[in-house]
Homo-oligomer: A and B are copies of this chain.
Amino acid sequence: MTNIKDLAQHCGVAVSTVSRVLNEHPDVSEETRQKVLRAASELHYIPNTSARNLVRTTSDTIALLVKGVNNPFFAKLIKVLEREIAQSGYTLELHQMDTSEDELRIGAQLTNERKLIGILFLGGRFNYSPEELSLIKVPSVFCTYTNSFGTLNAESYSSVAIDDKNAARFAVDTLISRGHRRIAILTDNQDDHSISELRFQGYQDALKRHNIPFDPTLVACTGTFSDMGAIYRATSELIERDRSFTAIFAIADLMAVAAIKALSDHGRRVPEDCSVVAIDGLELSEYLLPTLTTLVQPVEDMGLACANILIELIESRGKHRQVTFETLLREGGSVRRLNE
């Protein structure tokens, strides 16, 4: 493998000169510049990243710390993130965390190996104390969830999200405005300080505003966003437990898919016998039968925002900021007006 020393020798110049050429420093004559460049290409010179990072005491890799990689909503997000990051000359590392508790631990560990210049958190919970957050020593951005529980001040963290509570409220409002009053909810969790809890709160809020009593028997917890079987079973139990509900609010599109199947298997058709509304706006949902009525998250814009905020932080061109995106109701065929 050719290194910078070989180039120097080959050209009859000093290594420092070669380095200057390679790093596009000024103060190097056009003649030597060409000479070095030609040698570099002839000898197939490729810089050694480790050596460079060692002396520069940085790296070029950003870590994506994600819980539930196979969540289809993340797929598009990851696509956008990688593209943006690559375009800015950085590299994306993928790390999976199994529990939300891992996220800070893994983050802190990776940070310390000094091979990271930034972290993107995706799909975890978010109720950190300032002390916990300070374990992360590199710029980071929380994707798809924000500091809705904690006590962090806006100068100390960055996030990109929708207003989950509000979106959930809007989704449930949509059902209520169509005459539904017995509305079940299909959620991952009620109290894990993740978006699940926020959306659950939004559900409760909507009911309260319309003076509809909250009925815990209408809550189906799946404990997962991606395990279709578990979601199906949770819905089935709900159906067997209570036959009075006329609508389901699923906090994610994929949950709605499993729910619709469970309803169908129990002889209840959507939307005739039960309406369904969800949050996500997957492309897929437009191609289901019936098409899903869902609140669309602007996933592309969210990905761009995540990447840009992080890169600005890394290049110290920006300060921490929190971005909240609007969701848009996409009406499909899964909701029906209830006749009195």
Residues of A within 8 A of B (CB): 1, 44, 46-51, 53-54, 59, 61, 64, 69-72, 75-76, 78-79, 82-83, 86, 91-96, 112-115, 228-229, 232, 254, 257-258, 260-261, 264, 283-284, 286-289, 291
A28 to B64, CA, bound (A): 38
Q: Main SS of the interface on chain A?
A: helix
A302 to B76, CA, bound (A): 23
CB–CB B49/A51 < 8 A: no
Give which listed residue, B61, B75, B112, B257, contacts A69 with CB less than 8 A.
Answer: B75
| Residue numbers in B under 8 Å from A257 (CB-CB) | 284, 287-288
11 residue pairs bridging A and B, Cβ less than 8 Å apart? A1-B114, A48-B113, A48-B114, A49-B115, A50-B53, A61-B93, A64-B94, A72-B72, A82-B96, A228-B286, A257-B284
Name the CB-closest residue of B to A115.
B49
CB–CB B115/A50 < 8 A: yes
| Residue numbers in B under 8 Å from A47 (CB-CB) | 113
CB–CB A96/B69 < 8 A: no
CB–CB A261/B232 < 8 A: no
CB–CB A78/B83 < 8 A: no
Asked if A112 meets B46 with Cβ closer than 8 Å, knowing A86-B96, A94-B92, A288-B257, the reply is yes
A93 to B232, CA, bound (A): 34
CB–CB A78/B72 < 8 A: no
CB–CB B286/A288 < 8 A: no
- How distant is A281 from chain B, measured CB to nearest CB, in Å? 13
A75 to B70, CA, bound (A): 5
Give which listed residue, B46, B51, B69, B287, contacts A79 with CB less than 8 A.
Answer: B69
A324 to B260, CA, bound (A): 36
CB–CB B228/A283 < 8 A: yes
- How distant is A297 from chain B, measured CB to nearest CB, in Å? 15
Give which listed residue, B78, B260, B288, contacts A261 with CB less than 8 A.
Answer: B288
- How distant is A19 from chain B, measured CB to nearest CB, in Å? 16
CB–CB B289/A264 < 8 A: yes
Q: What 10 A-B pairs come out closest when comparing CB atoms?
A: A46-B112, A70-B75, A50-B53, A50-B54, A261-B287, A49-B115, A50-B50, A92-B94, A69-B79, A228-B283
| Residue numbers in B under 8 Å from A70 (CB-CB) | 75-76, 78-79
| Residue numbers in B under 8 Å from A53 (CB-CB) | 50
A288 to B35, CA, bound (A): 64
Name the CB-closest residue of B to A283.
B228
CB–CB B94/A49 < 8 A: no
Name the CB-closest residue of B to A261.
B287
- How distant is A254 from chain B, measured CB to nearest CB, in Å? 7
Asked if A284 meets B82 with Cβ closer than 8 Å, knowing A113-B46, A114-B50, the reply is no
A75 to B282, CA, bound (A): 15
Give which listed residue, B54, B64, B232, B291, contacts A287 with CB less than 8 A.
Answer: B232
- How distant is A238 from chain B, measured CB to nearest CB, in Å? 16
Asked if A83 meets B96 with Cβ closer than 8 Å, knowing A261-B287, A261-B289, A284-B257, the reply is yes
- How distant is A98 from chain B, measured CB to nearest CB, in Å? 9
A94 to B173, CA, bound (A): 40
CB–CB A82/B94 < 8 A: yes
- How distant is A222 from chain B, measured CB to nearest CB, in Å? 13
